[in-house]
Amino acid sequence: MNGATRNLINTGRVTEERAIKLEETIKKAFPEAMVEVTMGLAEIMTNDPGDRHVLAAAVVAKADIIVTSNLKHFREKDLVSWGVKAQSPDDFLTDIYNLYPKEMLSVIRLQSQVLKKPPMTVKELLELLGKKDGANLSSFTNKLQIGLDRSEFF
């Protein structure tokens, strides 16, 4: 079981059975996202010991960015030699919005349309995302809200 599904179980969000099914579904849908970390690579990383496997996986996958709310475990000095940087989810999503505002607004609108339990308007979804579990997506949701208020994309 990986760290994400283990965290879902530990926080009580899903049962172990449901987490296993979720992990299987993700692996089936995105097989190219699975990486095998070379033996010993994580051990030479200098970031937080509990997250060295994450940096090692990013290096193997040739990722440019690790998106995490736990930036203290991914300091620039530990990442720069590997050509990787760490970004908060808010900064990452804000950067994508800055590059593709119309597309991001369309995605959020589509997401609000498929929500059924409970149904949500785009504004309600943005409010929820803005205060979701300490993720702090305030810059991202503020930009989306400004785009919505302008109505230039709808």
Six token digits for residue 115: 């929500």
Q: Confidence band (pLDDT; 50, 70, 90) for 154?
A: very low
CA distances from 79 to 38, 39, 72 (A): 18, 19, 12
pLDDT in tens, 8-34: 888 888 888 998 899 899 889 999 888
Would you say residue 89 has pLDDT above 80?
yes
pLDDT of 145: 86
Would you say residue 141 has pLDDT above 80?
yes
Would you say residue 152 has pLDDT above 60?
no
pLDDT in tens, 37-63: 999 999 999 999 999 999 999 999 999
Six token digits for residue 31: 């097989």
Would you say residue 102 has pLDDT above 60?
yes
Sequence spans of domains, the chain = 1-34, 36-87, 91-150
Buried/exposed 108-117: b ≥16 CB within 10 Å, e otherwise: bbeebeeeee
In one letter, which amino acid is 4? A
> DSSP letters along 81-104, please?
GGT-EEE-HHHHHHHHHHH-HHHH
